[in-house]
Structure 1
Amino acid sequence: MDVLVNLNWALLAPVIIIQLILLVVSLVDLIRIERTNGPKWLWVVIILFVNIIGPILYFVIGRRNN
């Protein structure tokens, strides 16, 4: 519990906020888009469980530009 008290929240809070924004935006985009590179269920798993890199990978690799 002492670890949580001693964290510098001023440095950690922006990273957490950016991660949450990326997560929400990528999931909303995944729901709205018709086709992706690969199955949608796999992209949901990647976005949810591969923290900051998952949503970035979705936008770089997963979206199809029709």
Structure 2
Amino acid sequence: MEKLIQYLPYLIPILVVQLLLMIVALVDLARREKTRGPKWVWALIILFGELLGPIVYFIFGRVDEN
């Protein structure tokens, strides 16, 4: 437990970034009409993909709306 408290100053910013990425990715997913694949699959990837899930969505899931 003592080691966890020791690493807490490093873990909190990572957790905040992860939470922000998830929120931004989910909002973007909800607003887009088209994605590469079903939206429910992307939602699962974003939610359960930890830090990489939202990044994978932003790279591969979004479709240009031109």
Same fold per TM (> 0.5)? yes
Secondary structure of the corresponding residue to residue 36 of structure 2: coil
1:15 correspondence with 2:18: no
1:63 correspondence with 2:62: yes
Report the aligned-residue RMSD. 0.8
Aligned residue pairs, count: 63
- Identity value in percent: 48
Secondary structure of the corresponding residue to residue 46 of structure 1: helix
1:30 matched residue in structure 2:
29
Q: TM-score by structure 1 length?
A: 0.90
Instruction: Name the amino acid aligned to 2:17.
Output: I
Deviation at 1:6, TM superposition (A): 2.1
Q: TM-score by structure 2 length?
A: 0.90
In structure 1, C-alpha distance between the alignment counterparts of 2:43 and 2:54, rounded to whole Å: 9
Query: Structure 2: 5+ residue runs without aligned partners?
Result: none
Deviation at 1:39, TM superposition (A): 0.4
Query: Structure 1: 5+ residue runs without aligned partners?
Result: none
In structure 1, C-alpha distance between the alignment counterparts of 2:31 and 2:49, rounded to whole Å: 21
